[in-house]
Amino acid sequence: MKVVRGESASAKSATPGGLTSVDGDMAGPLALDRVIHERIRLAIVSTLAVHEMLTFTELRSVLETSDGNLSVHARKLEDAGYVSCKKSFDGRIPRTEYRITAAGRRALEQYLSHMEALIRRVGG
pLDDT score at 26? 54
Q: What is the pLDDT of residues 75-112, one digit of tens each?
A: 999 999 999 999 999 999 999 999 999 999 999 999 99
* Dist CA 110 CA 61 (whole Å): 27
Taking CA atoms, 106 is separated from 102, 103, 109, in Å, by: 6, 5, 5
> Rounded to two decimals, what is the model's pTM?
0.75
Architecture of the domain whose range is 32-123:
Orthogonal Bundle (1.10)
Q: What is the pLDDT of residues 22-76, one digit of tens each?
A: 344 555 666 789 999 999 999 999 999 999 999 999 999 999 999 999 999 999 9
Convert 32-70 to b/e letters by CB count within 10 Å (16 or more is b).
bbebbeeeebbbbbebbeeeeebebeebbeebebeeeeb
pLDDT score at 12? 35
- Answer for the pair 41, 83: CB distance below 8 angstroms, yes or no: no
- Give the domain ranges of the chain: 1-26, 32-123
